[in-house]
Homo-oligomer: A and B are copies of this chain.
Amino acid sequence: MEEFENQELFKKNNIKNTKHRNLVLDVLKESQFPITTEDIYLKLQERGAHISLSTIYRILDVFANKGMVVKAIISEGSKAMVELQHLEHKHHLICKECNKIVAIEDCPFEEFAKALEKKTDFDITGHKLEIYGYCPACKE
């Protein structure tokens, strides 16, 4: 049935239902937090899947173009890595010290969007929000 959900999603987005897209999508679904292309690659390797890194890049491109995932730079630190957002709508609170990530369920933006649409005459379809600070352990 996990498979079935995937298939639906592919159909809805007009892309072929391939073995590799299923693998990548499964990893994305399981992942609580944004992950890198490399992370996905390694996870699939562990599971014994035979998939090439460039295929994952291509799949993520397709997913991103279809709006199924979102790219972002998360850790503020030295390396600004490209990552993927989870499919559900949620945001993250990231510790600038230890990089701990906490998922936020609420989104303060929903109501604001309506007003903004009126003001700007845009058709607003989505947003990215990431929140930074220091976690309980790291703030002193």
Contact = CB atoms under 8 A, between A and B. Distances in A.
Contacts of A59: none
A121 interface: yes
A4 interface: no
Contact of A133 (B80, B108, B123, B129): B123
B108 A112 contact: yes
Contacts of A64: 76
Nearest to A77: B65
Interface of A: 61, 64-65, 67, 70-73, 76-78, 80, 82, 93, 95-96, 102, 104, 106, 108-109, 111-113, 116-117, 120-136, 139
14 contacts: A64-B76, A93-B116, A108-B111, A116-B131, A117-B133, A121-B135, A122-B134, A123-B134, A124-B131, A124-B132, A127-B129, A127-B130, A127-B132, A128-B132
